[in-house]
């Protein structure tokens, strides 16, 4: 990143044609099982350091152009390794990500969607016993009147496309790479 800046390459080109394009490759390699979680985490951390260098040179419109994401693990579930990896991959894809953490109540998701002006909501569950909370969260979004302005993606080990369809989610992702790719298309 520093070499590119010294060679007068615009910060937006470094971000879009270098860092984000590189993480797209990482995501594909993860999906194809040519790259595994430790390498993906390392790539995402390095990407983050590159973005930190570029942030002062980028306008707010460049860093939020692809969409704003609210992500969290649903109420009753304390698992977050997969969710954190998804959040890192989404940030690496150029999305602005607000990671709420774990054990998040439906009302808090609704509040954060409003506060962050999010265009994508990502819900995670690792326990089959907390999967119904995804439906309750989607119901809370519908009741709040926000459903028309937000895309909802769900994921986690026990979650399937059929379950996502049944609860009214817009998308399902089985891994971090495909989650980032889907979020980019949903955010545009």
pLDDT for res 65? 54
pLDDT tens digits for the chain (188 residues)?
999 999 999 988 998 899 888 988 988 898 888 998 889 888 888 988 998 898 888 765 444 456 899 999 999 999 998 898 899 888 878 889 999 999 999 999 999 999 999 999 999 999 999 999 999 999 999 999 999 999 999 999 999 999 999 999 999 998 888 898 899 888 66
Residue with tokens 């690496």: 92
pLDDT for res 141? 98
Inter-CA distances, 78 with 8, 58, 83, Å: 45, 35, 11
């Amino acid at each position: 990143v520093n070499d590119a800046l010294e060679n007068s390459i615009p910060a937006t080109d470094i971000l879009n044609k270098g860092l984000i394009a590189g993480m797209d490759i990482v995501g594909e390699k993860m999906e194809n099982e040519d790259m595994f979680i430790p390498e993906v985490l390392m790539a995402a951390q390095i990407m983050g350091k590159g973005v930190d260098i570029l942030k002062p040179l980028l306008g707010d419109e460049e860093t939020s152009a692809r969409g704003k994401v609210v992500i969290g693990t649903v109420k009753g579930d304390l698992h977050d390794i997969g969710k954190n990896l998804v959040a890192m991959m989404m940030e690496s894809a150029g999305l602005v990500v607000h990671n709420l953490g774990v054990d998040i109540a439906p009302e808090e998701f609704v509040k954060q969607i409003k506060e962050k002006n999010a265009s994508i909501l990502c819900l995670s569950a690792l326990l089959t016993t907390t999967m119904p909370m995804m439906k309750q969260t989607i119901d809370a979004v519908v009741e709040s009147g926000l459903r028309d302005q937000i895309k909802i993606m769900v994921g986690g080990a026990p979650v399937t496309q059929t379950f996502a369809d049944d609860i009214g989610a817009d998308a399902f992702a089985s891994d971090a790479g495909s989650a980032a790719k889907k979020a980019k298309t949903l955010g545009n």
